[in-house]
Amino acid sequence: MLEDILAERRKKLEKLRHAGIDPYPAKVNRSFSIEHALNHFDELQKSAESISLVGRVRSLRDQGKIMFADLEDGKGKIQVVFKEGDLKDLEFWRSVIDLGDFISVTGPLFITKRGERSLEVHHVQMAAKALYPLPDKWEGLEDIETRLRERYLDLIVHPELKDLFLKKAIFWSSVREFLENEGFLEVETSVLEPLAGGAEAEPFKTHHNALELQLKKLVTGGFEKIFEIGRVFRNEGIDREHLQDFTFMECYWAYHSCRDMMKLTEKLFKFIIQKTMGSLRTASLGFHIDWEKPWPEVDYIKMFKKETGLDPVRASHEELLAKAKDLALAADKAMSKGRLIDLIYKKTVRPKLIDPCFLVGHPIIVSPLSKATADNPEIAERFQIVAAGSELGNGYSELNDPHDQRARFEAQMQMRERGDKEAMNLDEDFLKALEYGMPPTAGFGMSERMFAVLMDRPVRETVFFPLMRPKRD
């Protein structure tokens, strides 16, 4: 059936060429967008001026001496009317136009007897001949894997998706707007580096790997308030919250602590949510979330004890491993104590944190590259923004003692030697930068996971072209 449709469309393509018509011209007539025509319809109709509109043919209704079509461009849709007497070569165009074709039509605007605003076609120009038929909206493109692989079709069949991606543009532009208004400078650093570092995540094995320590080097170099928005590549599984290729924002604020950063990021989040959603009340996973009220602090260790009965700092490796197995988690004795604690936390504590909050008091063992608090070497100077059971941002008082940092790197290297692929490499260049002196600095990072939570969708559905597993025949 499909082959017959394709063969018929190729015949129409050749008919156009045989008539001397280029089915794929470099340029076509266009006066302005359909949205503009509809917004200024009355004055354009009154002038009786011919205008040219361009778009994709989304419907065709042939009634013999008259043919109706719905024409849609990126911002609007209008009915166009082909009629004998107005279009001298109506029969030819009736024989070559298909659903999905891009055409340019020229003529005056008018209102039909049924009151529909329309364009009376006096001239037609083929803009791009479609050789494949568009899938049916309700039956032809509902499988999510197909929709993500052929996102261009998904956008055609589900035009409401455009609103999602328009909101995503607003989301990131509002991040920039807020930080720039707060005096932060946007910078660019290299995506490709000889060592992977800056976060506990397995890097891709490529010629180079992404590094997140360069911004700290800029703080050492004298930039006090900086941020970067860019792509990050991590070798993580694909699930509701994770992708291997995603957009990330990281900012650093010299002479400030994570406590200062907590105040700033609460303001940041409320700003971008209001800008993106038009409200500070949203819904995700069936929960109604109020972002407006002040965010409370939740103590990591107290919550862990409450949900598991274990003190994550005092519990032995054996106790944590037994608890992980009781929870049916993929854990083994080769895992470090910190990994086991994090695994159990994500299963027991995090899903309970629905309203936005600051998770604080992390054991240093689960934050091996963090600065410890002044009054307790076992607790990290760190916070996480958590809502809807998801981690939406990480903030730290950055470690700036080069000797301490070296010891942490060396411990990470030992973990790598024991098979921990997410442990960091030792970075001599970064250590040298710290030895020149980096001031007390607060850092914060967030990814497009936050936007996915606002949209109440898996993160890969909020990306135009997410990385997909190879398609099998």
Q: Closest Cα to residue 44, out of 83, 93, 78?
A: 78
Tokens coding 184? 């932060």
Q: Closest Cα to residue 87, out of 117, 125, 114?
A: 125
> Is 80 exceeded by the pLDDT of residue 369?
no
Amino acid making up residue 190: S
Where does the pLDDT of residue 470 fall: very low under 50, low under 70, confident under 90, or very high at 90 and above? Answer: low
Strands of the sheet containing 357-360, edge to edge, are: 185-186, 225-233, 245-254, 441-447, 390-397, 382-387, 357-360, 297-299
H or E stretch at 261: helix 258-277
Range of lowest pLDDT (157-161, 162-166, 181-185, 421-425): 421-425
Tens digits of residue pLDDT in 80-112: 999 988 998 999 999 999 999 999 999 999 999
Rounded Cα distance, 358 and 152, in Å:
39
> Is 70 exceeded by the pLDDT of residue 201?
no
Report the mean per-residue pLDDT for the chain: 89
> Is 90 exceeded by the pLDDT of residue 246?
no
- Find the mean pLDDT for residues 394-416: 87
Contacts of 283 (CB under 8 A, 6+ apart): 289, 456
Contacts of 201 (CB under 8 A, 6+ apart): 234, 235, 236, 422
Tokens coding 369? 């590259």
pLDDT score recorded for residue 192: 67
The rounded percent of the chain whose pLDDT value lies above 70 is 90
Tens digits of residue pLDDT in 22-80: 999 999 999 999 999 999 999 999 999 999 999 999 999 998 889 999 999 988 999 99
Where does the pLDDT of residue 211 fall: very low under 50, low under 70, confident under 90, or very high at 90 and above? Answer: very low
SS3 category, 84: coil
pTM: 0.85
pLDDT score recorded for residue 137: 54
Tens digits of residue pLDDT in 106-163: 999 999 999 999 999 999 999 999 999 988 754 556 677 777 778 888 888 887 888 9
Domains of the chain, each with CATH number or no CATH: 2-128 (2.40.50.140), 157-296+355-462 (3.30.930.10)
Measured in whole angstroms, how far is the alpha carbon of residue 313 from the centre of its chain?
Answer: 36
Where does the pLDDT of residue 461 fall: very low under 50, low under 70, confident under 90, or very high at 90 and above? Answer: confident
- Find the mean pLDDT for residues 172-192: 94
Higher-pLDDT residue of 234, 102: 102
- Find the mean pLDDT for residues 238-257: 84
- Find the mean pLDDT for residues 344-362: 96
Q: Any idea how long the chain is?
A: 473
- Find the mean pLDDT for residues 338-357: 95
Tokens coding 126? 């083929």
